Every structure is written in C-alpha cells, then in structure tokens.
Structure 1
Amino acid sequence: MTRKFNIVLTAGRKKHFSITIIVLVSVVISLLVVSLVLVALGYCLPGRRERKKNDEALQQENGKRQDMRTAESLQFDLGTLETATNKFSEDNKLGEGGFGAVFKGMLINGQEIAVKRLSKSSGQGVQEFKNEVVLVAKLQHRNLVRLLGFCLEGEETLLVYECVPNKSLDYFLFEHKKREQLDWLSRTMIIGGIARGILYLHEDSRLRVIHRDLKVSNILLDNNMNPKISDFGMARMFGVDDQTEGNTKRIVGTYGYMAPEYAMEGLYSVKSDVFSFGVLLLEIITGRRNFLGFHRTNCGPTLIGYAWQLWNETKGLELMDPLL
C-alpha cells in the first residue's frame, strides 16, 4: 500500500515539474515576442525615424568638417614653397605641360617634393579646387603619385607632390640610348604597374576616378623604375554608386590617346582610360609614338593603324621594339 502511494506521489511530482517547465518556456517565448514587437515599433515610430535622419545628417556634417580640417592640414605656405624651389628657378624646372610647369624642391626637413605651378587660366573656384585636392589626397596606391598638399595664395595655385626621381616614361622610351635600359622585364613590370593603378582608380578606390589623360609623360618612374600615374588635373570622380560614364562639351586631354567616342562626341567612361592604356601598351612594346591620332597632319598610319595592319597580316611580332 505504501509502495503504491509513493509511486503515485512520484508521478504527481513529475507531472507538476513538466507543467512548470512548459509554463516557463511559454513565458520566455512571450517575452521574446514582445521584445521583438517593441523593437520593430521603435524603428517604425516617427521619433525613431527622425532621430535616424538626424544621425545621418550629423555624420554628413562631421564628414564635411573632417574634410575642412584635412584641407587645412594639406595647405602649404607660399614662402615655404618658394624657398624649397629657389623661387621657382629654371634650374629646378622638371618639365612643363598644358596646365603649368613642375619644379623640384626640398623642404627644410629634407623631404624632396615636386611643385606644379598651375596656369592662371584655370576657371576652377577656390572651394571646388580644395574639395578636389582633398579627394585626390585620399587616393593611396603604390602606382599613383601621392599628392602632399596645395597652396592658394595671391595669384598662385600650386600642387605639391612627392618627388619621383626618374622623370617620366617618355624620357626613357623615345630616346634610343635610354630605351636600352628598358629590357623586356622592365617593360612588363611598368605595364603591370600602370594596369594596377588604373584598376585601383576604377574599381578599388573610395571614389571611382576616370583619369582622362593617361599618356607616357604622365607615367613617372621611381628609383626602382616602378611606374606611378600622375597629373589628375583632368580627372573626373564619381560617387560610390554605379555611375561609370559622363558627357562633356569641353574636350580635354591629348590627341592620340583619346578614345574615338570621347574625341568626337565628348563621351567618357572607364573604357576611355582603357583605350588610352592600350595606346600606352603599344608605345611601350614598340618604343614608338602614336603621332597625333585623330588630328593627323600626314597620310601615314598612326601606331594604332600600323598595329592593326600587321595584326591582320598575322605579323604582330614585327611590332616589337628591335632593341628587345
């Protein structure tokens, strides 16, 4: 009799324990559901949405302030640059392009710099210029020339770059004796470096950048003959969206490197830079210039036309520089 009573009592306790577990689990599930509903309602409430908008606006404002601080930190004093370049003396002149002359200089801390003195004909506004400098300064890649800062003082508009000692690629490529220094291994290394720099600008940088003026004189070589893309004065930058092309009525750049749709219709895109890279590739392989491209003054074929002709005749190897 006692044994039967104990069995019944044990069964009752198990049943009571099971009921307790079920109740606890139900309470926990209910609390989780209520919490999720409250969180969802919190995101849907107008106050929450307003706070979210305010947070985004605050982030944008902080970003602008950060860019202003960055611009201030990048600004050089005119006197400092005049001292560094010996007042832009001809002895320190490295070269000159359509947008101004470049001078070699040295800061008082011993750092070598290259100062580009932009021509006074530029119609770009001060704030627009500063914004562009800040954006370019954020481009960091081993195959891009690094922008160190700028100077806007009086009538002077100056850009300060790292100094790349071996001048530009055309200095070596189109002079017979110097071209001998560019063996096949050196040329393939230069080609690969330029390609990596373009890939970074088009795909991997914070903003998508279309250079619009890729040419041999804008490829600088460091001590180890590694290439660095320079001169972003004509570059166009797009945001982080999917925009990859644009249109302009003002055609800038260098004939001979321009894609047909850009030279004739003002349409530019990442493909425009790839076309220019193709011309660079031909010039590096052949050691010959592409002449004037779409503005030819003679009846001879351009390097592109000559390459196409040999390709159709299955004589592509004849393009190679005889020095190779």
Structure 2
Amino acid sequence: MAKELGRVQDDIERKLQLGNFATNVQTTIMVTNIQSAGDLPPRPPPPRSQGEVIIDGFTKFSLSELKAATENFSEGNMIGSGGTGDVYKGVLQDGQVVAIKKLHYIRDIDESGLYDGINAFVDLKHKNISRPLGYCHEVIMVLIRDNGKCVRAEHREFCFVEEYMENGSMEKIIDGSRFIGWSCRFKMIQGIAQGLHYLHEQRVVHRDLKPANILFDSDMNPRISDFGVAQKLDLGVEETSGDTNIAGTVDYMPPEYLFEGTVSTKCDVYAFGITLLGTIIGGMSMSRPQEPIRWAFEARDDVRTELFKPSLCCKSQLMQIKKCMEIGLLCVEEDREHRPTMADVLAMLNGVKELPALKQPWGIE
C-alpha cells in the first residue's frame, strides 16, 4: 500500500510540473534535444547576443529585444510618427542607440513587399543614406473579441532598425521652426540629391521621400532614412504599374503613382521637387503659401531678399535660390517623361547643365 501511495504521489508531482511548464509556454516554441545528465558534461551557457546576424552588419532582432530597447515602445521614446508606423529611440543591450520603426498593424499588407523593402536597402552604403542595422518580424497570439466571444488571433509585428541621428529631421527646417541659412540649406539639398542619385543607380525607389525621412548626423549631413516601403526594380526594368498597395505620403506622390500605381525613379524625383520647394519656403519671412508649386511658378521671376528672413541669404545668393525654385518645378512636372533624372538634377545644381524651359505645372490654370 505504501508503495502504491508513493507512485501516486510521484505521478501527481510530475503532472504538477508539466502544468507549471505549460502555463509558461509563449507563442514561440523552441524544440531542443534533451540529453540525460550522464551522457555529456554540462555545456557552458551561450554568450548573450543581440538577435541573429543575417549578413555582416544586418541583424534579425527579436521583438522582446526591441521592447526592452524602447521600454515597451513607450510614448516617451517615440520620436516620430507617420502613415505607415511610429519611430522610437532605443538602446540595445550593447549600449548602441538606434531608431526603430514599428509598422502599424500589417494584416492586410503583402509580407513579400516588406521583405522587398529589406532587399532594397540591406546593401546600401552611402554618406547620405541612413545605415540599416536590422529588422524584426514575429507573429504573436492575442485575444480579440469576435461576435461577443474572446478568441485567439494572429497579430504580426514588423520593425525596421536603423542608426540613430541625433540632429533630428528636415521637418523642423521645412516648417520654419529651425532656422538655417541658405548656404547650409543648399548643402543639404545637394546631399539629398546625391543620396537619391545613389539609390537610383542601385535601382531602388524609396517611395516615401519627405522631410520627416531625411535625418541629420552629428555634422548636419542629410541622410535619407526609412526604407519600409522601398522597392528594388529588376535589372532592365524602368517602371512597374498597377500597384494596388499605394504606400507613402500623399502630398509627395506624383499623379501617375497616386492614380495608376506606376512606380519608377521619377516618383522619387517628384518627391524631391516638393521637398526642395519646401526647403526654400521654410526660410521665408512671410506666411507659408498654401500651394507651394503655384507660388514657386508665379514668384520665380520676382525673387527678392525681402521675401526671406534677413539673415537667410544675401543678394548674391538670390540667383541660386531662383535656380533651385526652377529645378524644383522641373521635378514636379505632371508628365514623368519631362522630369529630370537625379543625375540631371545634380548637374543642374552644380552648374554644369543648363535648365530646360519650364512648363506650366499641372493643376495651375
């Protein structure tokens, strides 16, 4: 009888241990080979690491690592927000400060498109391109209410990790809250053009170029960032059409992409033109015009120092400002075939190529 009671007690203890184990199982289950203690000497614990290095300098992070880096994606660590996601400042286990973009709920987004974004930027190396550090993609189980019942459902989390830029974005310059003289503004314009030209040489279309995605390093050099919706064109392919997953920011989208889903490098050229005009308008002493394209077209022949803040520019720089206004207008031509390439833009900015005649911008009568 005592032996029977002992076996029953042992069986109960084993079931309790299994029950405790089951309650601690998370959504990700790792299967390991269990060896008896007598087979092999105990192995030392693995070194603590950050994620899984996919290729040199590019890491697949776990969601738990990024939560720890951002204090569970706290509002206090949020440094930006946009249509596709929120950006957080984070500190990794090794002390490295990073920027982490956490995409909004992506149930209806084609996951292959997200990996296209990774493929587009993983090998990019340029002084005017923000350095990609890695990504995170996990499926977690959450409880949701469906027809009055709580049910388990899959929830997908996708994050991009880039180097952190301490001097913020170009948004502050565009909206006029951060004052920078024309010489520095022109240097920034050149840097953005160089970075975009490099992207297009790699057949990469950014698709969401805007001031919020142009960051500044410690030396105030512009860096194009946020490649979450970038697309890499196949070799020999100039454009793709019929894209139903329109991504980006409407104010910076050309008509052929907005209405037809046509993707080409000329989409980025259009966005660059809007950004260039905004860089000029951000230094104006008057209130910001509601229609920057119309304003630039009508004011280009009457550029005066009194239009700008007194310390922004001098008379000798007015011709350069006028030229930049015209380059911006060329970039926002309605017909993408009439827009310059970024190689042309650089040549015009540097004074080695003449500007073609302007046409009246679309939407202006």
Is the TM value for this pair above 0.5?
yes
In 2, distance between residues paired with 1:114 and 1:275?
Answer: 27
TM-aligned CA distance change 1:72 to 1:322, over 3 Å: closer
Q: Map of 1:124-139 to 2, 5 A cutoff? A: 124=109, 126=111, 129-130=114-115, 132-139=117-124
In 1, distance between residues paired with 2:112 and 2:200?
Answer: 25
Alpha-carbon offset, residue 307 of structure 1: 0.9
Residue 160 of structure 1 aligns to a residue whose secondary structure is strand
TM-aligned CA distance change 1:132 to 1:250, over 3 Å: closer
User: Which residue of the partner structure matches residue 239 of structure 2?
Assistant: 245
Q: Residue 187 of structure 1: which of 182, 185, 188 is its match?
A: 185
Q: Residue 86 of structure 1: which of 44, 47, 71 is its match?
A: 71
TM-aligned CA distance change 1:132 to 1:262, over 3 Å: closer
Q: Is the 8 A contact 1:288 1:303 kept in 2?
A: no
TM-aligned CA distance change 1:152 to 1:169, over 3 Å: same
Residue 158 of structure 2 aligns to a residue whose secondary structure is strand
In 1, distance between residues paired with 2:239 and 2:112?
Answer: 24
User: Which residue of the partner structure matches residue 220 of structure 2?
Assistant: 225
TM-aligned CA distance change 1:79 to 1:266, over 3 Å: closer
5+ long unaligned stretches in structure 1: 1-67, 290-299
Q: Residue 210 of structure 2: which of 210, 215, 218 is its match?
A: 215
Alpha-carbon offset, residue 102 of structure 1: 0.9
Alpha-carbon offset, residue 188 of structure 1: 1.1
User: Which residue of the partner structure matches residue 292 of structure 2?
Assistant: 303
1:175 aligns with 2:160: no
Residue 191 of structure 1 aligns to a residue whose secondary structure is helix
TM-aligned CA distance change 1:130 to 1:279, over 3 Å: closer
The AA in structure 1 aligned to 2:128 is N
In 2, distance between residues paired with 1:274 and 1:192?
Answer: 13
Q: Is the 8 A contact 1:215 1:257 kept in 2?
A: yes
Q: Deviations over 1:160-210 (max 9, x none)?
A: 11111112111233134x22xx1112101110110001100112x2xx011
Residue 162 of structure 2 aligns to a residue whose secondary structure is strand
Alpha-carbon offset, residue 282 of structure 1: 0.9
Alpha-carbon offset, residue 319 of structure 1: 9.5
User: Which residue of the partner structure matches residue 116 of structure 1?
Assistant: 101
Q: Is the 8 A contact 2:208 2:249 kept in 1?
A: yes
Alpha-carbon offset, residue 301 of structure 1: 5.7
Residue 247 of structure 2 aligns to a residue whose secondary structure is coil
1:282 aligns with 2:277: yes
TM-aligned CA distance change 1:170 to 1:127, over 3 Å: closer
Residue 128 of structure 2 aligns to a residue whose secondary structure is coil
Q: Is the 8 A contact 1:238 1:244 kept in 2?
A: yes
Q: Is the 8 A contact 1:211 1:232 kept in 2?
A: yes
Please identify which structure carries the higher helix content: 1
TM-aligned CA distance change 1:105 to 1:319, over 3 Å: farther
In 2, distance between residues paired with 1:122 and 1:319?
Answer: 52
Q: Deviations over 1:109-157 (max 9, x none)?
A: 1211111111113534556534542442111111111111111222321
Residue 252 of structure 2 aligns to a residue whose secondary structure is coil
In 1, distance between residues paired with 2:65 and 2:211?
Answer: 31
Q: Deviations over 1:290-323 (max 9, x none)?
A: xxxxxxxxxx861101111123xx2144796334
In 2, distance between residues paired with 1:128 and 1:252?
Answer: 11
Aligned length: 238
In 2, distance between residues paired with 1:267 and 1:127?
Answer: 18
In 2, distance between residues paired with 1:149 and 1:135?
Answer: 13
The AA in structure 2 aligned to 1:193 is G
Q: Is the 8 A contact 1:105 1:112 kept in 2?
A: yes
The AA in structure 1 aligned to 2:168 is K
TM-aligned CA distance change 1:236 to 1:321, over 3 Å: farther
The structure whose Rg is larger is 1
5+ long unaligned stretches in structure 2: 1-52, 141-155, 313-365
Q: Residue 261 of structure 2: which of 262, 266, 283 is its match?
A: 266
In 2, distance between residues paired with 1:250 and 1:84?
Answer: 31
TM-aligned CA distance change 1:72 to 1:78, over 3 Å: farther
RMSD of equivalent CA atoms: 2.6
In 1, distance between residues paired with 2:281 and 2:116?
Answer: 40
Q: Is the 8 A contact 1:144 1:228 kept in 2?
A: yes
In 2, distance between residues paired with 1:100 and 1:320?
Answer: 36
User: Which residue of the partner structure matches residue 293 of structure 1?
Assistant: none
Q: Is the 8 A contact 2:106 2:157 kept in 1?
A: no
